[in-house]
Amino acid sequence: MSEQPTIAVVEATRFRGHDPAYHDYVQLLVGNVIAEAEAQGWRVDRLAADRGADALLAETEPADAVVIVGGEDIHPDFYGGRTGYPNESRHLPAADAAQIALVHAALVRGTPLLGICRGLQIVNVALGGTLVQDLGEECAHVNRGVPIPQVLTTHTVQVEAGSRASDLLGAGSLEVRSAHHQAVDALGADLVVTARSHDGHVEAIEHADAPLLAVQWHPEDIAAPAGQLAALLRALRVAVPAREVVAA
């Protein structure tokens, strides 16, 4: 590993001109991930998946670690669902396909990967899992009918003792910030559930063997409990040498 390892922060798309408020809020969240990574000594490559799988795989090949951040709903074609569900967002199939390909590439390459919100769902779908398409109007995972900066809500999750998530964030009850109307349904291959919300929905998953961890909440939100994002990014840094040993 070089003195300054590289982390690829991968978005579905860089520009959302159809929705300036959402675009601006995403910039804040992604900016917080980048700022924390840089503070930890990473060199950050900010990449957009909507340029296609070939471009994304080429751009991330040299990366020492990958973060897949939040964004739009995954197109239902990728998990056997149907369009027309409640609260459906726009879809970016090219970005979905590219990020799914990236998950597979990370497993082959041994690249440590962190998924955040949509990133968790991408990981699950990439490994054959499915999604609950809408959690209902009364779900506690997103605030509805409010300005974009107020959509995140605070709730608790229960982190499984003995998991990587518990090593990083502590076991038992954990306060988190989230804004999601979908969740894991059927779990993808070789994934383990390591946190659930108070209403039973999956909130964190880990790969049984690979350095892959994903959370359904937003540790990068400005109102998230201090230290969550830092701990998750530090775990990627610790996992980098393992990739190089395997590659050797």
pLDDT of residue 248: 29
> Which element (helix H / strand E) includes 33?
helix 20-39
Taking every pair of C-alpha atoms in the chain, what is the biggest distance, in angstroms?
Answer: 53
pLDDT of residue 1: 44
State how far the Cα of 207 lies from the Cα of 204, in Å rounded to an integer. 11
Which residue numbers are catalytic? 117, 218, 220
Ranges under pLDDT 50 in the chain: 1-2, 245-248
**17, exposed or middle or buried, with CB in 10 Å at 0-12, 13-18, 19+?**
exposed
Alpha carbon distance, N-terminus to C-terminus of the chain: 12
pLDDT of residue 164: 96
Three-state DSSP at 149 gives: helix
Indicate the residue type of 143.
N
> Residue 144: CB partners within 8 Å, gap ≥ 6?
87, 137, 151
β-strand partners of 173: 158
pLDDT of residue 184: 98
